[in-house]
Structure 1
Amino acid sequence: MAITKNAISVRGLDLIKSFEGLRLAAYQDVAGVWTIGYGCTFYANGKRIQPGDKLVNKECASDLLGVVLRDFERTVNRVVTVALNQNQYDALVSFHFNTGSLPSSTLLRKLNAGDFGGAAAQFDLWVKVTDPKTGKKVVNDTLVKRRAKEQKLFTTPI
């Protein structure tokens, strides 16, 4: 059980939105996953995004992101067992929203062991995406930039 129950801040939301961008019509991301709004791959009811899906406006996309992020926030709150500042929490929610892999990551193991520096260094390792055409993992420039910003936020004191 996490020591502190947090919620993502406006700064954390803005970070996610800046990398995800806004698209009101469903599209396939670089890994070939159907996505909509601000990087959402499913709706609040758990239904996956499908080709042809559309959101009415920016407010609907923001609302969907807020609802979907609650699951990611709950996971971060559940699996992190050390106290976090808001910047660390926001960086972890962004990371988990993008990768879905925080619970099984070395980043989490190092963090929960109190190795904050070692945890921060792990962000650099999560910069590859599976190319849907070849099935091979390739470095993605956008992920390199995203992980650098998440890492910087994670290491910024409050």
Structure 2
Amino acid sequence: MTDPVCPAALAIVKEAEGLYLTAYRCPAGVPSVGWGHTAGVKMGQTISRAQAEAYLAADMAEAAAAVDRLVKVPITDNQRGALSSFVMNLGAGNLQESTLLRLLNQRDYAGAADQFGRWVYATVNGVKTELPGLVKRRAAERALFLTP
């Protein structure tokens, strides 16, 4: 079991995702419930707030484990939290293939921080679209990443 993710990262996820107790489709069309939980979600599904909390804890623990596996340099709890929010939203594969991770693992922490703003697009109705919610989320993640 990995250490829990910092509370500031959980706050970013909760603010960015919003709480939905009935399944919905996110802007990219993926069935989601709770605070952005997607695994096994079926449209029409309903959950309790307690289940949403459990999903969030599990999703963030999984994201943090991916961060712990991929990052090869020392990072702070805030950096781990920012990256965990990023992974929960975009998946470990996107972090693994990113310039953000490459720069971070080269100890270019400032350069890595500057990469968050590149991840603000989703495919909506077949079109690559900048989403204001992602702009706000990436800015919050970058700010947390840069907080000692």
Same fold (TM over 0.5): yes
Q: Which residue of the partner structure matches residue 19 of structure 1?
A: 16
Q: Please report how far the alpha carbon of residue 69 of structure 1 lies from its aligned counterpart in structure 2 after TM superposition.
A: 2.0
Q: Normalising to structure 2: TM-score of the pair? A: 0.94
Q: Which residue of the partner structure matches residue 64 of structure 1?
A: 55
Distance 2:129 2:59 in 1: 27
Identity %: 41
1:83 matched to 2:74 = yes
**Structure 1 segment 27-46 matched on structure 2, within 5 A:** 27-42=24-39
Contact 1:102 1:108 in 2 (8 A): yes
1:73 matched to 2:64 = yes
Q: Please report how far the alpha carbon of residue 17 of structure 1 lies from its aligned counterpart in structure 2 after TM superposition.
A: 0.8
Q: Please report how far the alpha carbon of residue 6 of structure 1 lies from its aligned counterpart in structure 2 after TM superposition.
A: 4.7
Distance 1:28 1:128 in 2: 16
Q: Which residue of the partner structure matches residue 46 of structure 2?
A: 54
Q: Kindly tell me the number of residue pairs found equivalent between the two proteins.
A: 145
**Structure 1 segment 104-143 matched on structure 2, within 5 A:** 104-131=97-124, 133=125, 135-143=126-134
- Structure 1, unmatched stretches of 5+, are 43-47
Distance 2:121 2:3 in 1: 28
Contact 2:64 2:81 in 1 (8 A): no
Give, as a single letter, the amino acid of the residue that structure 2 aligns with 1:49: V
- Residues 81-137 of structure 1 show CA distances to partners (whole Å, capped at 9, x for unaligned) of 111111111100001111112111110000000001110010010010101x2x121
Q: Which residue of the partner structure matches residue 5 of structure 2?
A: 8
Give, as a single letter, the amino acid of the residue that structure 1 aligns with 2:98: S
Q: Which residue of the partner structure matches residue 45 of structure 1?
A: none
